[in-house]
């Protein structure tokens, strides 16, 4: 059982890296990638837990990148977390996130939401603040009934708490992952609201830029979307990745390692560029 996309408290997951690994091991996962947003701070703790629980840990990351004016997510799998280019680039992203958090709080204040920055900081276990931390605070304060609603009403484009992403380019992200000896995979391609034409132009560009694969089976795709992405992977000759995008037990419909089977004609990324052993 292979799960190549998960989050811990090092970004916006709710389990500590050690607990995540333990739960994955209990669920029967044999190889697990920890892919926190723009951050590798959880990897060392996860590695220790993996050694104790006889599970293979793949050091990973989910980079926020820009393409054609939008934010995309790029997975880096099997990265060397000590790479100095990576360390420098991630510090810049952390600085942007810090600034963005203040901006989000300021904008929310304009519509009468008080102390959102303090609230989000309390939800985050580290100094990496994401929209999920704001979302949890806003739900707790009764500004929306659940996580979905809070994004829809406050945190997405066109809504009062939205701040435009200023992440590295897709090209820079792929190069950074390669410099860190990792494998670059486009995360959850069906989650960007791209038309079929636009999505195919993205895949074409990913090919040109040397990306190593696309996430075909995702915990945040429908079964139909998995099938569609399998077809795109075959059309473009991309190896296929799979991951739950697990963020914690509070979303019980997403479980560690529980994924529908990948299309039989796809080449799994662990039989192409990614070493798991
Ligand atoms: P950030 O990188 O700080 O902009 O936050 C992105 C994260 O917010 C994603 O990885 C999800 O965990 C969460 N997220 C984004 N959009 C939504 C949404 N519409 N509903 C629920 N969670 C979302
Ligand atoms: Mn997330
Ligand atoms: Mn993502
Ligand atoms: Mn994710």
Give nearest CA residue, ligand 1 atom 6. Answer: 131
* Average pLDDT along the chain, 277 residues, taken 10 residues at a time: 98 98 98 98 98 97 98 98 98 98 98 95 95 97 95 97 98 98 98 98 98 98 98 98 97 95 98 88
Ligand number nearest CA of 33 is 4
Which residues crowd ion ligand 3, with CB under 5 Å? 73, 187
With the most atoms of ligand 1 within 8 angstroms of its CB, the residue from 127, 151, 152 to mutate is 151
CB 16 within 8 Å of CB 45: yes
Looking at residue 117, what is its pLDDT? 97
3-state secondary structure of 247: coil
Provide the pLDDT for residue 276: 85
* Predicted pLDDT of residue 125: 87
Q: Which tens digits make up the pLDDT trace of 38-61?
A: 999 999 999 999 999 999 999 999
What is the model's pLDDT at position 96? 98
The predicted structure's pLDDT at residue 5: 98
Residue nearest to atom 5 of ligand 1 (CA): 131
Cα(131) to centroid of ligand 2, in Å?
8
Rounded CA separation 263/259 (Å): 12
Q: Among 90, 96, 130, 149, which residue has the most ligand 1 atoms within 8 Å of its CB, making it the best to mutate?
A: 130
Which domains are delineated in the chain? 2-83+167-271 (3.20.20.140), 90-155 (1.10.150.650)
pTM: 0.97
Q: Which two tokens mark 187?
A: 């995360």
Which residues, other chains included, contact 39 with Cβ-Cβ below 8 Å and sequence gap of 6+? 10, 11, 61, 90, 94, 126, 128
């Amino acid at each position: 059982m292979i799960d190549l996309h998960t989050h811990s408290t090092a970004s916006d997951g709710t389990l500590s890296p050690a607990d995540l690994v333990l739960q994955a091991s209990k669920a029967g996962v044999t190889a697990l990638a920890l892919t926190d947003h723009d951050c590798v701070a959880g990897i060392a703790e996860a590695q220790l837990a993996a050694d104790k629980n006889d599970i293979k840990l793949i050091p990973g990351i989910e980079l926020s990148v820009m393409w054609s004016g939008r934010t995309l997510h790029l997975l880096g799998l099997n990265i060397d977390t000590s790479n100095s280019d990576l360390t420098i680039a991630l510090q810049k992203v952390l600085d942007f996130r810090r600034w963005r958090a203040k901006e989000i709080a300021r904008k929310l204040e304009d519509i009468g939401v008080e102390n959102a920055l303090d609230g989000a900081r309390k939800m985050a276990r580290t100094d990496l603040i994401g929209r999920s931390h704001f979302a949890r605070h806003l739900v707790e304060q009764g500004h929306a009934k659940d996580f979905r609603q809070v994004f829809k009403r406050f945190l997405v484009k066109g809504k009062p708490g939205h701040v435009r992403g200023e992440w590295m380019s897709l090209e820079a992200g792929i190069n950074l992952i390669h410099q860190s000896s990792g494998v670059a995979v486009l995360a959850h391609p069906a989650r960007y609201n791209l038309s079929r034409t636009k999505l195919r132009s993205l895949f074409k560009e990913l090919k040109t830029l040397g990306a190593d694969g696309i996430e075909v089976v995702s915990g945040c795709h429908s079964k139909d979307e998995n099938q569609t992405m399998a077809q795109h992977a075959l059309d473009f000759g991309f190896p296929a990745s799979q991951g739950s995008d697990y963020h914690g037990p509070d979303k019980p419909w997403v479980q560690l390692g529980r994924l529908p089977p990948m299309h039989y004609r796809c080449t799994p990324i662990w039989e192409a560029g990614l070493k798991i052993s």
